[in-house]
């Protein structure tokens, strides 16, 4: 029998024990509940079997695992937000590339048993949310003019460092010699953090992350643009950048209908909001 220990950081504060185990072990909720039912889960050395037990920063969750369980995790299915005969729109998880070896694109090809599936655009490895997947080459090509003509409305949610006065802000800062414009709307703010919605006119590489950092409000957990800020502020490590592609709005290239899709905020994003008392 092997014991695995998982410290609870600020981001996981308030999370239920079941959800915490699901995230750390990358297993189903049923499998997590099974571990608790078998009395294999401990919090700070005390056995806990209540799925809704709320964790606190500094707690240590210990799990007794058999040799098979110690290495057994599963790749969860990519959640599909919307689908028709030409496209899928999925809620991309964190820590996975959009395209390339072992990417979301590859996993969807296997999941849907369709080797023609192809990502129409990309999100950073640790950015979650709406991603459009074409089911055929014709469908892929039909989407390209929408991106070239900037006729797809994309809104992201982010959790950023620092207080921001409620309202809207326009950031226009060229990136790599090209025009880049972001519109930032403050949804909620406290002394040291803010929850914002960002609508982008252009889609330059790292645009939102660079723009918010240049505005002195870098995205929390961003290893490239927020590291110095988090070190100076003494912020506990945040596992990934808190950036989520929340909505997509566009005219379907085949049907002509206006389509609006929305990807729910992931659990770690919601936990981060809660830890900073943001809505």
What residues act catalytically?
124
Burial class (CB in 10 A: 0-12, 13-18, 19+), 154: buried
CB proximity list for 85: less than 8 A, separation 6 or greater = 135
Q: What is the spatial distance between Cα 238 and Cα 215, in angstroms, rounded to a whole number?
A: 20
Q: Token digits for 121?
A: 């655009």
**DSSP assignment, residue 178?**
B
Please state, in angstroms and rounded to a whole number, the distance separating the CA atoms of residues 153 and 248: 6
Q: Which phi and psi (to 5°) does residue 64 adopt?
A: -85, 125
CA separation for the pair 20, 7 (Å, rounded): 10
What are the residue ranges of helices labelled H in the chain?
17-25, 29-37, 67-71, 104-111, 137-148, 207-214, 227-233, 267-275
Signed CA dihedral, 189, 190, 191, 193: sign only: negative
How many Cα atoms occupy the beta-carbon half-sphere of 210 within 13 Å?
13
């Amino acid at each position: 029998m092997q014991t695995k220990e998982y410290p609870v950081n600020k981001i996981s504060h308030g999370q239920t024990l079941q959800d915490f185990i699901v995230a750390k072990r990358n297993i189903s909720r049923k499998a997590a509940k099974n571990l608790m039912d078998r009395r294999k889960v401990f919090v700070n050395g005390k056995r806990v079997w209540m799925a809704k037990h709320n964790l606190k920063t500094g707690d240590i969750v210990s799990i007794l695992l058999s040799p098979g369980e110690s290495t057994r995790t599963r790749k969860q299915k990519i959640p599909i937000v919307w689908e028709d005969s030409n496209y899928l729109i999925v809620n991309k998880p964190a820590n996975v590339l959009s395209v390339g070896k072992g990417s979301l694109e590859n996993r969807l090809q296997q999941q849907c048993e369709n080797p023609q599936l192809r990502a129409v655009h990309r999100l950073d490895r640790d950015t979650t949310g709406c991603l459009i997947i074409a089911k055929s080459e014709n469908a892929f090509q039909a989407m390209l003019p929408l991106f070239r003509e900037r006729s797809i409305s994309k809104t992201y949610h982010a959790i950023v460092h620092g207080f921001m006065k409620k309202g809207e802000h326009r950031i226009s800062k060229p990136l790599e010699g090209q025009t880049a414009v972001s519109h930032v709307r403050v949804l909620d703010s406290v002394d040291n953090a803010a929850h914002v919605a960002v609508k982008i006119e252009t889609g330059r590489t790292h645009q939102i992350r660079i723009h918010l950092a240049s505005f002195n409000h870098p995205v929390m957990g961003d290893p490239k643009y927020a590291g110095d800020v988090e070190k100076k502020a003494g912020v506990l490590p945040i596992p990934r950048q808190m950036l989520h592609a929340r909505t997509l709005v566009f005219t379907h290239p085949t049907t002509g209908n206006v389509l609006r899709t929305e990807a729910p905020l992931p659990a770690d994003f919601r936990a981060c909001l809660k830890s900073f008392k943001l809505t």
